[in-house]
Amino acid sequence: MQSKPARIALAITLVVAFGLLATTCVFASSTEQVLFRFYKGIGIGPVGTPISDASGNLYGVTAGGGGVANNSAYELSPGANGRWTGKVLHYFKFGHNDGLTPTGGLIFDPAGNLYGTTWDGGSHGVGIAFELIHGASGWSEHVLHNFGHRQDGGQPSGSLIFDKAGNLYGVTAGGGAYGQGTVFQLVPGANNTWKESVLYSFQDNGVDGRIPLGGLTFDVAGNLYGTTSTGGANGGGIVFELSPGANGTWTYSVLYNFCSTSGCPDGAHPVGSPIFDAAGNLYGTTLYGGAPGTFGYGVVFELAPSGGTWTQTVLHTFEGPDGAEPNAPLVFDNAGNLYGTTGGGGKGCYYPYACGVAFELTPGGGTWTETILHGFNDGPKAKDAGGPSGGLIFDTAGNLYGVTFGVWNGRGALYEITP
């Protein structure tokens, strides 16, 4: 059975105001090609946004069902004539000494080692944080932390992030003091040991958020930001901030409360990691909700700080043919345009959860224009691969890369979009 994050991928309140901007939708002349199709042996069902090394190799994880051999950390390398080859860095074996079902992308440290989390497995069955160490004889896994001991959280979701001191941060969708998820920190110590601390435990009290399903991001001052998929004053999830203080304490604030129904114009149920622009505004997506009269297929939003409060603006509402249910982090280009994916939707798609789109949002004159870069289709006879399951990354030439889960064929693929 697929994990909850995989199914979703395929598929203190401040007074703030929201505004709706007019958006238009156009289709781009960009081209998409499948570079690599996953298969049993290397892993199936890739999830998360892939990352690149200086040589252009891509790294990520797979979380497909059907056994240990389908859960892996992989490397994909470009070769002659546009052919890409895949290599397994680690098979997740499930059990006391390993995890299963990785849930987010990988990240590098300065030495070239990789870090990530799994939703299942470990000593208590609710996931691990791991390091993949690159040595002369290949890659080896080191478990940094087993979740689920006492109140330290369970089922980590989203990617990890580093601070400037080399500490790791992330979220769990479950566990903690109230069983509704946590924000945690991992601090390295002697002999490659790591100490986990819970910075915050979410609770189900009608005010707090619950069940974070995305990663975190830092601002320039060292404050942490993230989202929860549900909870808050309106039940539709929140955007939150954690600010570091003296003696290792952190102060928690809710920046914005989303609605809980598909008819909410400001969006409902965020699941991805927010990102910052250079001016300190936050951007993200919601899985559902949108402008009145639409089907509630989610929005792209902006949160702008002003005098201690945050004002929310909807940049785009998805309506189905232009995408549905965005479920991954956004990314900026150097010109300030936003790029992302939706797990479903698309024009003329007969298999809605095997489709999805890659999109660009371009600002101009107070409005944002959506350009559909590619509409995916993963039907039984399609040459494409559907169900984007992570965000997009750029190469130095401005081409975009991402992965699909492969809902119809159950395998998934790496794709490239060329402007």
Per-domain boundaries in the chain: 45-354
Q: What is the mean pLDDT of residues 8-23?
A: 31
Given pLDDT bands bounded at 50, 70 and 90, which one contains residue 5? Answer: very low
> What pLDDT is recorded for position 262?
58
The amino acid occupying position 313 is T
Q: What is the mean pLDDT of residues 344-359?
A: 77
- Between 25-34, 117-126, 307-316, the lowest mean confidence (pLDDT) is in 25-34
Taking only the tens place, the pLDDT of each residue in 89-115 is 999 987 778 999 998 999 999 999 999
Secondary structure of residue 8 in the 3-state scheme:
helix
Please indicate whether residue 408 or residue 121 has the higher confidence score (pLDDT).
121
Residues of the chain by 3-state class (helix, strand, coil), percent to 5: 5, 50, 45
Taking only the tens place, the pLDDT of each residue in 188-198 is 999 989 999 99
Structural domain 45-354, CATH architecture: 7 Propeller (2.130)
Q: What is the mean pLDDT of the chain?
A: 88
| Side-chain-side CA neighbours of residue 63 (13 Å) | 33
> What pLDDT is recorded for position 350?
57
24, pLDDT greater than 70: no
Taking only the tens place, the pLDDT of each residue in 170-182 is 999 999 999 999 9
Given pLDDT bands bounded at 50, 70 and 90, which one contains residue 27? Answer: low
Taking only the tens place, the pLDDT of each residue in 224-260 is 999 999 999 999 999 999 999 988 899 999 999 998 7
Given pLDDT bands bounded at 50, 70 and 90, which one contains residue 419? Answer: confident
- The b/e string for 189-202 (b: 16+ C-beta within 10 A; e otherwise) is eeeeebebebbbbb
> What pLDDT is recorded for position 19?
32
Taking only the tens place, the pLDDT of each residue in 128-155 is 999 999 998 899 999 999 999 778 999 9
**Which residues, in sequence order, are bridge partners of residue 194?**
188
The amino acid occupying position 116 is G
Tell me how crowded residue 282 is: count the other CB atoms within 10 A of its CB: 23
Q: What is the mean pLDDT of residues 316-344?
A: 95
* Separation of alpha carbons 243 and 77, rounded Å: 40
* Separation of alpha carbons 339 and 331, rounded Å: 5
* Separation of alpha carbons 408 and 399, rounded Å: 26
Supply 80's token pair.
Answer: 């002659």
61, pLDDT greater than 60: yes
> What pLDDT is recorded for position 66?
53
Nearest to 267 by CA among 209, 216, 311, 317: 317
Supply 223's token pair.
Answer: 């404050």
> What pLDDT is recorded for position 68?
65
> What pLDDT is recorded for position 15?
21
Tell me how crowded residue 77 is: count the other CB atoms within 10 A of its CB: 15
Q: What is the mean pLDDT of residues 307-315?
A: 94
> What pLDDT is recorded for position 298?
94
> What pLDDT is recorded for position 70?
78
